[in-house]
Chains A and B, each alone.
Chain A
Amino acid sequence: MSAAHDIPRRRPLLRAALPAAGLLPLVLWQIVFFVVPVALIFGVSVWRTQSYRLIPAFTFDNYIAIFARPAIWRALLLSVETAAFVTVACAVLAFPVAYFIAKKAGRWRGLLLVAVIAPFWISIVMRVAAWRLLLGERGVINQVAMTLGLTDAPMSFLLYSPVSTAIGLIYAYLPLYVLPLYAAISNIHDNWIEAALDLNASPARTFFEVILPLSAPGLVVGAVFCFVFGLGEFVTPALLGGGKQLMFSQVIQDEFQRRLDWPSGAAMAVVLLVLVFAALALSMKWIRRASGETGL
């Protein structure tokens, strides 16, 4: 009795084709709905418009125009500044919590980590709506501050200003920063910290010479994602930032949808993309290191 003959044979050709068949749908999908749209943006950015109609051409006028319009410059600068500020603020705010979860939370660490990330899954529009309730002139924060006598008149800078945009962005991306930091900090062995303390390093020196350098991969990766997402974020500035000081993403959207000048908007989008890819490229080494350590 030979069992081999009871088992149906499958053609080797079909077997060899299985891996390709598994990968192909996703790859094709991403080419059509990710690569092609991005390529189209690049393409359109060198076209022209004439009385609201797209003219295929090859011109750098749109890019030159960006640099000629100070309003766009200011928006770009404000976006970069805000994203940078948000990144630093997130790093400072996230670090102690990541440290606490990684080193002090014991068996609660899983749940605490999930609890940090959970708000991230709520629709951004709803999160922003909630912040409007908090930050408005008659919002919760002003009401509480006035009741406590901290201020006489409502603080009007809280809503519809770069401040409120920054608060909204910090709120949105703080969870994203905790994750890589947590991963990096949990990779620091307690022994190393112990060793530093045993060598009579003060807690401060231990922090700056052991903990901080070893969490650098997490810090950098978190920073990149925070910065990149903050730079391109649209909903938060649009709903919290008010209409006076526009961010770059708002200008792009305005160009595309209200002024219907696609080539000009596409050129700005390309500038945004270049910034994003520059940030990613500069930190690639660190992203590799961090993902290697967490085993992703």
Chain B
Amino acid sequence: MNRLSFGWTLPAYSVLLYAFLYLPIVVIVLFAFDAKAIPGLPIDAFTTDWFSASLGDTRLVGSLLTSIRLALMAAVLSTALAMPAAMVLAWRPVRMKSLVLCLVLGPVVLPQLVLGLGLVVLFRAAPDLIGAPAIVLAHTTMTSSYATLMLYSRFLGFRRSYIEAAMNLGADEFTTFREVVLPLVAPSLIAVLLLAFTDAFGEFVVAWFLAGFTETLPIAIWTSLRQVISPKIYALSALVILVTLFVSVSAQVWILGQSRRECES
């Protein structure tokens, strides 16, 4: 701790900022319990009816299930693409490495709007893929970038001598991977899977362009936001937000704990 102390101002400001970050979340959760048909202050009566109503709404629940299904596929696909690539990038001399890294990083900085429109043009060549397949392909492109970056830094921190020790004792590349690498990076792998899932689950713009008649949850909410919005939407959103927060926080705390353990050992 240094002596440059701001007294109570810094903590107080931080509390305000966290309040700002979590205010919309609190509000949406709060209004999910508002008994009025058009939510607004003051809330006179609380109800849990909107939750059961939203879970009874087949169209909403259908879009939720679609989102889960597609995001799951994108998460698995992008992790499967990212893991071997991250290992090679971190451990092997790669020719034109910066070019490869640019290729990997590109989708992160590219405006989603532009990627989405580009994919719309691309899929004109394969109109049959519009809908669920196109969404999965697009989300995989986006999430594999994040996944590669996260796994790349994990593998950079991986002790090479573990691998050498295994090989030295007679384990070939595949056995080494199965016996040593995989068990040690499994937590990071799961964390990356979870974050990729979360990212793909919530993505709207690109999915919207490529959706055709497929409806994901963000698309369903977008559509309803253009009409008079039903509190059912808030109820379902509240549920999803809480799950998302839980998943992303635990994934990141997990990664954090991992890197701390690495530092200590």
Query: Which residues of A does B touch, CB under 8 Å?
Result: 3, 7-8, 10, 15, 18-19, 21-23, 25-27, 29-31, 33-38, 40-41, 44, 93, 96-97, 99-101, 103-104, 110-112, 114-119, 121-134, 138-140, 143-144, 171, 174-175, 190, 193-194, 197, 203, 206-207, 211, 225, 228-229, 231-235, 239, 249, 252-253, 256-257, 262, 265-266, 269, 272-273, 276, 280, 295-296
Q: Given contacts A100-B14, A123-B218, A273-B110, could you give 10 more A-B pairs where the C-beta distance is less than 8 Å?
A: A33-B122, A33-B141, A121-B195, A129-B28, A129-B221, A140-B41, A190-B2, A207-B4, A234-B205, A257-B209
Provide 15 A-B residue pairs closer than 8 Å at the C-beta atoms, listed in order of the A residue: A25-B81, A26-B84, A38-B114, A41-B121, A93-B17, A100-B10, A100-B11, A114-B256, A118-B249, A126-B240, A129-B28, A130-B24, A133-B234, A232-B111, A256-B117
The smallest beta-carbon distance between A130 and chain B, in angstroms, is 3
Q: How far is the CA of A130 from the CA of B221 in the complex (A)?
A: 11
- The reply to whether the CB of B262 lies closer than 8 angstroms to some CB of chain A is no
The smallest beta-carbon distance between B109 and chain A, in angstroms, is 6
Do A36 and B122 form a contact, CB below 8 Å, given A30-B106, A295-B153? yes
The smallest beta-carbon distance between B23 and chain A, in angstroms, is 7
Q: How far is the CA of A109 from the CA of B252 in the complex (A)?
A: 13
Q: How many inter-chain contacts with C-beta < 8 Å in the A-B complex?
A: 266
Q: Which of B111, B201, B245, B260 has the most CB of A within 10 A?
A: B111
Stretch from B54-62, B88-96, B158-166, B180-188 forming part of the interface with A:
B88-96
Q: How far is the CA of A29 from the CA of B20 in the complex (A)?
A: 39
Q: How far is the CA of A104 from the CA of B2 in the complex (A)?
A: 9
Whether B202 pairs with A134 at a CB distance below 8 angstroms is no
- The reply to whether the CB of B85 lies closer than 8 angstroms to some CB of chain A is yes
Whether A190 pairs with B252 at a CB distance below 8 angstroms is no
Whether A130 pairs with B144 at a CB distance below 8 angstroms is no
Q: How far is the CA of A132 from the CA of B224 in the complex (A)?
A: 13
Q: Which chain A residues border B172 with CB–CB below 8 Å?
A: 7-8, 10
Q: Which chain A residues border B25 with CB–CB below 8 Å?
A: 119, 122, 130
Whether A232 pairs with B1 at a CB distance below 8 angstroms is no
Whether A231 pairs with B109 at a CB distance below 8 angstroms is no
Q: How many residues of B contact A (CB 8 A)?
A: 92
* B188-224 interface (Cβ within 8 A of A): 195, 198-199, 201-205, 209, 217-218, 221-222
The smallest beta-carbon distance between A258 and chain B, in angstroms, is 13
Whether B18 pairs with A123 at a CB distance below 8 angstroms is no
Q: Who on chain A is nearest to B145 by CB? A: A30
Whether A26 pairs with B28 at a CB distance below 8 angstroms is no
Whether A129 pairs with B237 at a CB distance below 8 angstroms is yes
Whether A134 pairs with B249 at a CB distance below 8 angstroms is no
Interface residues as binary, B105-122 with A (CB distance below 8 Å gives 1, 0 otherwise): 011011111110111111
Q: Which chain A residues border B173 with CB–CB below 8 Å?
A: 10, 15, 18
The smallest beta-carbon distance between A197 and chain B, in angstroms, is 6
Do A126 and B118 form a contact, CB below 8 Å, given A118-B248, A253-B113, A276-B111? no
Q: Which chain A residues border B112 with CB–CB below 8 Å?
A: 232, 234
Q: How far is the CA of A93 from the CA of B18 in the complex (A)?
A: 11
Whether A174 pairs with B21 at a CB distance below 8 angstroms is yes
Q: Who on chain A is nearest to B222 by CB? A: A125
- The reply to whether the CB of B70 lies closer than 8 angstroms to some CB of chain A is no
Whether A138 pairs with B40 at a CB distance below 8 angstroms is yes
Q: Who on chain A is nearest to B248 by CB? A: A121
Q: How far is the CA of A16 from the CA of B216 in the complex (A)?
A: 43
Interface residues as binary, B2-13 with A (CB distance below 8 Å gives 1, 0 otherwise): 111000001101
The smallest beta-carbon distance between A228 and chain B, in angstroms, is 6
Do A114 and B119 form a contact, CB below 8 Å, given A22-B88, A134-B27? no
Whether A97 pairs with B14 at a CB distance below 8 angstroms is yes
- The reply to whether the CB of B103 lies closer than 8 angstroms to some CB of chain A is yes
Whether A103 pairs with B252 at a CB distance below 8 angstroms is no
Q: Which chain B residues border A41 with CB–CB below 8 Å?
A: 114, 117-118, 121
Q: How far is the CA of A44 from the CA of B114 in the complex (A)?
A: 12
Q: Who on chain A is nearest to B137 by CB? A: A33
Q: Which of A25, A171, A225 has the most CB of B within 10 A?
A: A25
Do A22 and B87 form a contact, CB below 8 Å, given A34-B115, A121-B202, A239-B225? yes
Whether A26 pairs with B10 at a CB distance below 8 angstroms is no
Whether A175 pairs with B28 at a CB distance below 8 angstroms is no
Q: Which chain B residues border A23 with CB–CB below 8 Å?
A: 84-85, 88-89, 94, 100
Whether A144 pairs with B41 at a CB distance below 8 angstroms is yes
Q: Which chain B residues border A97 with CB–CB below 8 Å?
A: 13-14, 17
- The reply to whether the CB of B131 lies closer than 8 angstroms to some CB of chain A is no
Q: How far is the CA of A20 from the CA of B144 in the complex (A)?
A: 18
Q: How far is the CA of A111 from the CA of B31 in the complex (A)?
A: 27
Q: Who on chain A is nearest to B150 by CB? A: A296
Q: Which chain B residues border A119 with CB–CB below 8 Å?
A: 21-22, 24-25, 245
Q: Which chain A residues border B3 with CB–CB below 8 Å?
A: 193-194, 197
Whether B109 pairs with A276 at a CB distance below 8 angstroms is yes
Whether B149 pairs with A296 at a CB distance below 8 angstroms is yes
Q: Which chain A residues border B205 with CB–CB below 8 Å?
A: 234-235
- The reply to whether the CB of B76 lies closer than 8 angstroms to some CB of chain A is no
